[in-house]
Amino acid sequence: MKRIDWQAVGTALDSDGHAVLPGFLAAADCAALIAGYDDERHYRSRVVMERHGFGRGEYKYFSYPLPPLIAQQRATLYAQLVPIANRWNAAMGLGLRYPETHADFLGQCHQAGQVRPTPLILRYNPGDYNCLHQDLYGALAFPLQIAVLLSQPGADFEGGDFVLTEQRPRQQSRPMVVPLQKGDAVLFAVHHRPVAGTRGTYRVNLRHGVSRVTAGQRYTMGIIFHDAT
Ligand SMILES: O=C(O)CCC(=O)C(=O)O
Ligand SMILES: [Fe+2]
Mean pLDDT value across residues 64-87: 97
Q: How far is CA 104 from CA 82, 127, 180, 212, in A?
A: 12, 41, 32, 38
Beta-carbon count within 10 A of 30 CB? 22
**CB of 151 closer than 6 A to ligand 1?**
no
CA–centroid distance, 137 to ligand 1, in Å, is 15
**What distance in Å separates the CA atoms of residue 53 and residue 62, rounded to the nearest whole number?**
22
Q: Give the tens place of pLDDT for each residue, 191-216.
A: 999 998 888 899 999 999 999 999 99
**What distance in Å separates the CA atoms of residue 132 and residue 55, rounded to the nearest whole number?**
9
Mean pLDDT value across residues 17-32: 97
Say whether pLDDT at 48 is over 90. yes
Say whether pLDDT at 190 is over 90. yes
* Total residue count of the chain as it appears in this document: 229
The DSSP secondary structure of 158-194, one letter per residue, reads EE--EEEEEE-TTSPEEEEEE---TT-EEEEESSEEE
CA-proximal residue: ligand 1, atom 9 (nearest)? 222
pLDDT at 200: 87
Average pLDDT, the chain: 96
**CB of 135 closer than 6 A to ligand 1?**
yes
- The full set of domain ranges for the chain reads 6-224
**What distance in Å separates the CA atoms of residue 82 and residue 88, rounded to the nearest whole number?**
10
pLDDT at 169: 84
pLDDT at 3: 83
Say whether pLDDT at 141 is over 70. yes
Question: What are 159's strand-pairing partners?
Answer: 213
ipTM, 2 decimals? 0.99
CA–centroid distance, 66 to ligand 1, in Å, is 18
CA–centroid distance, 41 to ligand 2, in Å, is 22
Beta-carbon count within 10 A of 61 CB? 19
**CB of 225 closer than 6 A to ligand 1?**
no
Q: Which class in CATH covers the domain with range 6-224?
A: mainly beta
Mean pLDDT value across residues 56-69: 97
- The residue whose CB lies within 8 Å of the most ligand 1 atoms, and thus the one to mutate among 190, 210, 218, 226, is 210
pLDDT at 1: 58
Say whether pLDDT at 158 is over 70. yes
**CB of 122 closer than 6 A to ligand 1?**
yes
Closest ligand 1 atom to 221 CA:
9
Model confidence at 125, pLDDT cuts 50, 70, 90, reads: very high
- Whether 141 contacts 229, CB under 8 Å: no
**Residues 6 or more apart in contact with residue 155 via CB below 8 angstroms:** none
pLDDT at 122: 98
Ligand nearest to the CA of 185: 1
CA–centroid distance, 134 to ligand 1, in Å, is 10
Say whether pLDDT at 38 is over 70. yes
Mean pLDDT value across residues 27-39: 97
Q: Where are the alpha helices (DSSP H) in 22-168?
A: 27-35, 49-52, 68-91, 102-111
pLDDT at 199: 85
- The residue whose CB lies within 8 Å of the most ligand 1 atoms, and thus the one to mutate among 188, 208, 219, 226, is 208
